[in-house]
Amino acid sequence: MEVTESRIGSATTLKIVGRVDSSVAKALEQKVLDVASRDGHIVVDLGGMNYVSSAGLRSFIILAKQARAKNKAIALAGMSDEVAEIFDISGLLELFAIYDSVEAAVAALPR
């Protein structure tokens, strides 16, 4: 798993590439807590994430809960059908705003 962080306007973008399972869940959790503690909305680019395990999903739940507690919008962008399926059967899709691309997600963020 690779995580790169960048800023587009006032939003923080996290780009996750690779498999997200228990071997990297701890690192991802630290990263999302770090991002959530800062100002600005959050867009997670999942275009390069090909798998997420249940341990990996926990990081996304933590991110969603942190964002909600701090009144931030959080969007997932570009996820593959397989990943979308995992989020769906895990009941987590409705925690996030889902977009096809990062650009669409950024454009839809609240001002």
Q: Which residues bind other proteins (CB under 8 A)?
A: 21-23, 53-55, 57-58, 61-62, 64-66, 69, 88-92, 94-95
Structure tokens at 73: 């919008």
Q: How far is the CB of 11 from other proteins (least distance, A)?
A: 22
Using DSSP's 3-state secondary structure scheme, residue 38 falls into coil
Q: How far is the CB of 107 from other proteins (least distance, A)?
A: 26
Nearer to other proteins, 43 or 57 (CB): 57
Within 10 angstroms of residue 54's Cβ, the number of other Cβ atoms is: 11
Nearer to other proteins, 64 or 106 (CB): 64
Q: How far is the CB of 64 from other proteins (least distance, A)?
A: 7
Helix ranges restricted to H, 1-111 = 22-36, 54-69, 81-89, 102-108
Nearer to other proteins, 57 or 102 (CB): 57
As a whole number of angstroms, the distance between CA 7 and CA 94 comes to 24
